[in-house]
Structures are given as C-alpha cells and as structure tokens.
Chains A and B, each alone.
Chain A
Amino acid sequence: MTTSISATEVGLPPAPPEETARRRFTEIVAPYAYIAPFFVLFAVFGLIPLLFTFYVALFDWNPIGEHVFVGLDNFSRLAGDVRFWNAARNTVSIWLLSTVPQLLIALVLAHLLNHVRLRLALFFRMTMLVPYITSVAATAIVFAQMFDRDYGLLNWLLGLMGFEHIDFTQSVVGSHVLIAVMVTWRWFGYTALLYLASLQAVPRAIYEAAAVDGAGGVRQFRHISLPALRPVIVFTIVTSTIGGLQIFTEALLINRGAPNTCGPIRQCQTLTLFLFEQGFTQFKFGYAAAIGVALFVMVVALAGLNYFLSTRIRPVKG
C-alpha cells in the first residue's frame, strides 16, 4: 500500500522532486497504460469470444443474428452425431501420429547437433528452420502432390521397389499419415532447436566426467541429457497437444474434390474442419459453437493430462 516507493527496491525510481502533481499521476497510471493494449486485445478477441462460445452453443443461431434458445440440445445432438465422433477420432489419430515422431526425431537431432566439434553446425540449424518459415498452405499443396496416388514421387519410388501404390488422400490411414508427415516436417526442426538450447545449458564437464566413469553415449543421453531436457519436453508436449488438436489447413487443402469434409467419406475431417463446415458453410453458428466447446474441453483435458503425466514420469534411476 505504499504510494511513494523507495528507489532502492525499484528498477525505475520516481522522477526527481520538481515534478508536478499531474506528472506524478501519469507515472502511477503509466504501467497500466503500457500493459493495457494486450489486455484489451485479449479481452475483445480472445476471452469474450471464448465465453460467448459457451453462450452461443445454447442457441439455434444463424448469421443474421436470429436466435432461439435451445438449452443443451446442440450438445445432445452432437453426442449422437456420427460425423462428430468420426472427426474426434480423426483428430486424436492425426495428433498422435504427428506428435510422437516429431518429438522423437527432434530429440535425436538435438543430441546430434550438440556435438562440440560439429562442422557446419549453423548450416544444419538454419536448414531445419526452413520448414517452419514455409506456410502450411504451400506445404499442403506440395506434399499432396508428392504423395499423389498416380503421379506422386513417393508412390513412384514404392512402385520401383515393387510395392503397390498407396492412395494417401482417399484412404483413412493414408490421409492421416499424410497430414501427420506435414505437421512433423514443419515442426521437428523448431523443436530440435528448443531441445538443443536446453542441452547446451548442461556443462560439458558433466559429460566428460561420465565418460571417464565409463558411461557410453546412450547412458550419457539417458542419465544426463534426458533429465536436463525434461522441462522443455513437457513444454513441447503440451504445446503440440494444443496445436495438434486444432489442425485445419492441411486437412482442408489435401482433398481438392471435397475440401470441407477432407474427402468423400470424411476420412480426415478434423474437429476444427468440422467446426468450420458447420459454422461457415452450413451457417449453424450454435452447433459450430457447441463443437468449439467440445474441442475446447478436449484440448484443455488432454493438455492437462499430458502435463500431469509428463511431470510425473521420471527417468529410471540406476
């Protein structure tokens, strides 16, 4: 409750004593003014829409603004909607297929990039960031072509090796793998750099001492690198859960024939794509909001569960 603050405990001390009352007032207000833009923007475009989603989900609401209160009808319809459960299954499947390989690849690459005497280190690091600066839209177009059933490079190679062509965009498993490959491609390098940063914070001497004690590369990795990486691994698991459950663009763009459903049998329609279809092509705002609520609950629950599990799993001692 101190209004005048002693200079010793403050980064920014009060102005010299010749200040006017007006100036003193602006200095009390200043910090709030400096942080205000974020809070205003977050309120208007983040928090209020989020709360409003829960409200709109209780209505039969169309874009003109006509709305009829229907209570929990949207949710009970959702529970009985096979399209919803299909989208939920697709979302979880694609999320697992993209997150697990991405984090494992990043882990291995970070470990390799952490060699002190590695040549071309900057080249490798920069190259691995190229997918991150490439847009999802461009990625989806080029990957869909490379994975094409008849003319794609990948199927051509499979054919040379004597395998059957795989119909990546039209089959359930194929389309999930294709989307997962795109997500993994985009993020593994970025994630590897985050892991590398944490690894470089570990003093070299610890590795050297372990080597003197006869610990090989694998043991060094398990007992030194992995524990050091735990916080950043937890962070990336949680963020890739939040991102992975919201996949939209890849699914929209790989199936040109039926973009809003990601194919004729909704083989890769994710929940975000289902939300988009209901809200912005069927114009059922209330129903779309209910999907948003369901997805929101799912994201928070799975991100929380991941956080809970990954902070509890410890590397085996010994």
Chain B
Amino acid sequence: MRTTRPRSGDRVRWWVYALLALAAFACLFPLYWMFIVATTDTATAIKLPPEIVPGGNFFHLAGLVFSTVPFVRSIVNSLIVAGSIGVGQAVLCALAGFAFAKMRFRGRNALFLFVVLTMTVPTQLAIVPQYMIISSLGWVDTLQALIVPGLANAFGIFWMRQHIASAISDEILQAARIDGASTWQVFWRVAFPLVRPAAFVLGLLGFVTAWNDFLWPFVVLKSPEMYTVQIAIKALQNSFNIDLGLAMSGSFLATLPLLVLFVFVGRRMVAGIMNGAFKG
C-alpha cells in the first residue's frame, strides 16, 4: 500500500545512509585489506602507516601460492566437492520436497516432522564416530568423504517443500497425469522446471557452504593433493610462519571465485534468503 504523495514520515534521513554506509564499509573493508596485502608483500603489510592502495606484487605472490601448495589441484577439488553438493542438494531436496508437498503416503506428516526436527540436532559434535565410519568405508583422504554426507539436507527439503507447495497447482500435475505421465515424469518434466529458481538458490547456498567448509575437510583430508582451498590456505599459513603476503594471497585467491559468482547471482541469493523458509 504505497501512497503516491511523498510523506514526511517516509523521507530517509541522512544518518540512515551514514549508518548503512558504515555497515557496508565494515563488510567490504576486510576483503579490501586482504587484497592490499595480497598485492604487496609482508614488509609492506606490516608497515605503519599502512598502504591503502594495491601494490604490483600480486602475480609474484600468486605464483608463490601455486608453487608452495598444489593450489590448482585444490581449486579443482573444491569445485568438484562444492559443485556436486550444490547439484545434489538442488535435485535430491526437490525430489523429497515434491514427495512431501504433492504425494500422499503413509507416515508423511510424521516423517516430515522428523526431517524438520533433525535441523536442530548438532550432529557435527559426533565427529569422532563420523570419522570412524568414513574410515571403515575406506574414504579417509578422499573427496567422496566430503561430498556424500552433504548431498541432501533437512533445510533443503523444507525449503523445496514450501516452494513446491506454493508454486505448483494440483491441477497442472493432474493434467500431466491424465496425459499419461509417470510419477517421475510429472516431477522431472512438470514440477522441477517450475521450481528451478528456488532449486538454483538452494544449490547456490549449498555450494557456498561446501566451498567454505573447514572442520570436516580438515579432519578427513591428509595429503596435499586432496586439499580443498580452505585447507590449502591453512597449509600456507603453516608453511611460512610469518609470510602474511603469501597467506593473504592464498586467502584472496580462495575467495575470488565466490566473489565473481556473487557478482552475477548475488541479487538472486539476497532474494532467496529473504524469501526463505523462516516466515511462520
């Protein structure tokens, strides 16, 4: 209900912008500072007053990152892990969400309640037995140890169920069914395309979370060729105890792919989070 006539109460005061600009500055500055140190070197990084413009040393430091740890390999590893988890969550959670939203089966409500309740269980604390299970599967130091546990999650099922229930009418599914489509065809050809934007955002959130995960890869991965980028930058920090330029360079390179991704899909991510599953 917007009024066309400007109201005095609607006018945005200057201090609103000042506070928001301060928050924006706080959000961006650490990354800018990371970039500054990543483009100069340690000597400049610890110089006071600090440099506030990027130096020309980026390619030298980046080269050092790639020669110190198998960084290309770890980016590929991270892409494989985060990509599989993103796609897996989008498809598997849509499938389960579809079943919970549009199919009738015995135990449906109880099972859905169970799914929702699992969201509050801090299973990360069971990390010792989780490691033992991965170990007995022979998956220590492999990428599937990171991928498989993350392929479906409760939040994603809840998210997709909400979207499927509200975005897809029963009539369109019935029409497809009358045309002779099987359950799978109804899902894959009719329902999934209609909720693809929601599944895309879910996959994106899964990708970001997996890309940035630290504890589990840190426990499971042993050899440098299997490192994800997060473990690689930890290794950089170790191997050169005080070489900040190197550590920051690695951190920046590990963050860059997500920043680039965010430039293209940030708007949808914001909308997705705001449109999220937390209303009521």
Q: Is B37 an interface residue (CB 8 A)?
A: yes
Q: Which residues of A contact B45 (CB under 8 A)?
A: 145, 151
Would A52 and B26 count as touching, CB distance under 8 A? no
Would A56 and B128 count as touching, CB distance under 8 A? yes
Q: Is A94 an interface residue (CB 8 A)?
A: no
In the docked arrangement, what's the CA distance between A91 and B111, Å? 34
Q: Which of B55-63, B69-77, B115-123, B193-201 contacts A (4 or more CB under 8 A)?
A: B115-123
Q: Is A48 an interface residue (CB 8 A)?
A: yes
Would A141 and B247 count as touching, CB distance under 8 A? yes
Interface residues of B in 15-34 (CB under 8 A from A): 16, 19-20, 23-24, 26-28, 30-31, 33-34
- A/B pair count, beta carbons within 8 Å: 335
Q: Which residues of B contact A135 (CB under 8 A)?
A: 211-212, 214, 229-230, 251, 254-255, 258
Q: What is the size, in residues, of chain A's interface with B at 8 Å between Cβ atoms? A: 116
In the docked arrangement, what's the CA distance between A48 and B241, Å? 40
Would A138 and B233 count as touching, CB distance under 8 A? yes
Interface string of B134-151 (1 = CB under 8 A from A): 010000000000001101
Interface string of A25-58 (1 = CB under 8 A from B): 0111011101101110110111111101100100
Given contacts A38-B115, A38-B154, A194-B273, contact A156 B50 (CB under 8 A): yes
- Which listed residue, B111, B124, B129, B237, touches A52 by the CB 8 Å rule? B129
Would B267 and A190 count as touching, CB distance under 8 A? no
Interface residues of A in 182-216 (CB under 8 A from B): 185, 188-190, 193-194, 196-198, 200-201, 203-205, 207-208, 211
Would B33 and A153 count as touching, CB distance under 8 A? yes
Given contacts A42-B154, A56-B129, contact A190 B273 (CB under 8 A): yes
State how many angstroms separate the Cβ of A91 from the closest Cβ of chain B.
12
Q: Which residues of B contact A249 (CB under 8 A)?
A: 214-215
Q: Which residues of A contact B103 (CB under 8 A)?
A: 10-12, 30-31, 34
Q: Is A289 an interface residue (CB 8 A)?
A: yes
Residue of A nearest to B184 (CB): A30
Interface string of B164-199 (1 = CB under 8 A from A): 000010100110011010111011000000000000
- Which listed residue, B1, B33, B255, B279, touches A205 by the CB 8 Å rule? B1
Would A292 and B127 count as touching, CB distance under 8 A? yes
Would B105 and A137 count as touching, CB distance under 8 A? no
Given contacts A45-B149, A204-B2, contact A134 B98 (CB under 8 A): no
Given contacts A38-B153, A299-B122, contact A49 B133 (CB under 8 A): yes
Would A185 and B133 count as touching, CB distance under 8 A? no
In the docked arrangement, what's the CA distance between A128 and B23, Å? 8
State how many angstroms separate the Cβ of A278 from the closest Cβ of chain B.
9
Given contacts A53-B128, A150-B46, contact A109 B23 (CB under 8 A): yes
Q: Is A70 an interface residue (CB 8 A)?
A: no
Would B244 and A145 count as touching, CB distance under 8 A? yes
Most buried by A among B126, B241, B244, B280: B126
Would B170 and A235 count as touching, CB distance under 8 A? no
- Which listed residue, A12, A48, A49, A150, touches B186 by the CB 8 Å rule? A12
Would B102 and A12 count as touching, CB distance under 8 A? yes
Residue of B nearest to A196 (CB): B274
List 4 A-B pairs, minimum CB-CB distance, nearest first. A11-B102, A151-B46, A138-B251, A135-B212
Interface residues of A (CB under 8 A from B): 5, 7, 9-16, 23, 26-28, 30-32, 34-35, 37-39, 41-42, 44-50, 52-53, 56, 63, 105, 108-109, 112-113, 115-119, 122-139, 141-143, 145-146, 148, 150-151, 153, 156, 185, 188-190, 193-194, 196-198, 200-201, 203-205, 207-208, 211, 231-232, 235, 238, 242, 245-246, 248-249, 252-253, 256, 272, 275-276, 279-280, 285, 288-289, 292, 295-296, 299-300, 303
